[in-house]
Structure 1
Amino acid sequence: MLAINHLCGGLTFTATFCSFQDINIFEKPEYLALTVFGALAPDIDNTKSLIGKLFYPIAKKIQEHWGHRTATHSFLACIVFTMFFATVQALTGAENLTTIAFFSYLSHLIFDMCTKSGLPFSIL
């Protein structure tokens, strides 16, 4: 999938599921930024992706070591991403970061599962 697809899908998916918990991702700029980042984050394993270009040294290492749609496209990576933002939320006193991080990252995984290439079933 292209970055624009993940952005549009991630915004829609995250806004929908966060609204069930009375969270409006369009309420604050940081919520929207986290949604965009989370929706693109799993593609940090590809140096040709938008986020891979922004974080090129990290993307290159991940791509060389694991390849595309492996380590960062897993439920474990989703949990690690979510826990990172749970820690940020706890340390800063910010609200709703954990929920937004989870749904935005999960959106990427679900949309990649729907492509022809799919995702390998892996918890790691």
Structure 2
Amino acid sequence: MRYHTHIVSSLAIGAGIATYTPVSFTIAYATGLVIGGLLPDIDEPNSYIGRRSLGVAKQVKKAFGHRGFTHSLLAWGAITAVLLLQHFSSFTLGLCLGYAFHILADYCSSQGVPLLWPFSKRRYRFIVTYRTSSFLETVLFYCFLALFIYFLMNGAIEEQDSLFLF
């Protein structure tokens, strides 16, 4: 999935959560969703986040390969445990959710993800898949964009200035 689709899908699902739960859709939460939605691709130097990682992506790819450790439930669980248990905030909640949404989106791709890494290198994928940069991904992008706008207009933001609360 391309970076902008990861961003919009994470924001849309995160806004849906904010619409139907007590979670507030704040700037900090949205920023966490965006960063978390991109973070698993730190294992690819040519990814949006990898090009901005000051060489970290090259080292991660060398150690684990693309869609290896960073796309596993173990990586998500470790990040979630450290951030939410040690430093809970709207930002860290968004980051952990965005990370999970990224893995879920890649789970639906034709390449799949190694959910059970390091216990298994098998890549799991959903029954119906899409290819990165395909027409179907473009359709998904616009569907998530429409869903994001819908949630923003229908309850994700309770007060006009709630986006500015941290």
Q: Which amino acid aligns with 1:84?
A: V
User: Identity rate of aligned residues, in percent?
Assistant: 28
CA RMSD of aligned residues (A): 1.7
Q: Distance in 2 between matches of 1:8 and 1:88?
A: 25
Q: Establish whether residue 120 from structure 1 lines up as the match of residue 114 from structure 2.
A: yes
Counterparts of 2:41 and 2:115 in 1: how far apart (Å)? 17
Alpha-carbon shift at residue 9 of structure 1 (Å): 0.5
**Which of 94, 99, 106 pairs up with 2:100?**
106
Q: Could you list the runs of 4 or more consecutive aligned residues of structure 1 that deviate by over 2 angstroms after TM superposition? A: 17-21, 95-102
How far residue 59 of structure 1 moved from its aligned partner, in angstroms, is: 0.7
Q: Cα offset for 1:46?
A: 0.2
Say yes or no: does 1:78 pair with 2:76: yes
Letter in 2 for 1:17: I
Structure-2 residue corresponding to 1:8: 8
Amino acid at match of 1:12: A
**Matched-pair contact (CA < 8 Å) for 2:76–2:96:** yes
Distance 1:123-1:22 versus aligned 2 partners, 3 A rule: farther
Aligned to 1:92: none
**Letter paired with 1:81:** I
Distance in 2, Cα, partners of 1:121 & 1:34:
22
Gaps (5+ residues) in structure 1?
A: 90-94
Query: Unaligned stretches of 5+ in structure 2?
Result: 119-166
Rate the CA distance shift 1:121–1:32 in 2: closer, same or farther, 3 A.
closer
User: If the length of structure 2 is used for normalisation, what is the TM-score?
Assistant: 0.64
Answer with 1 or 2: which has the greater Rg.
2
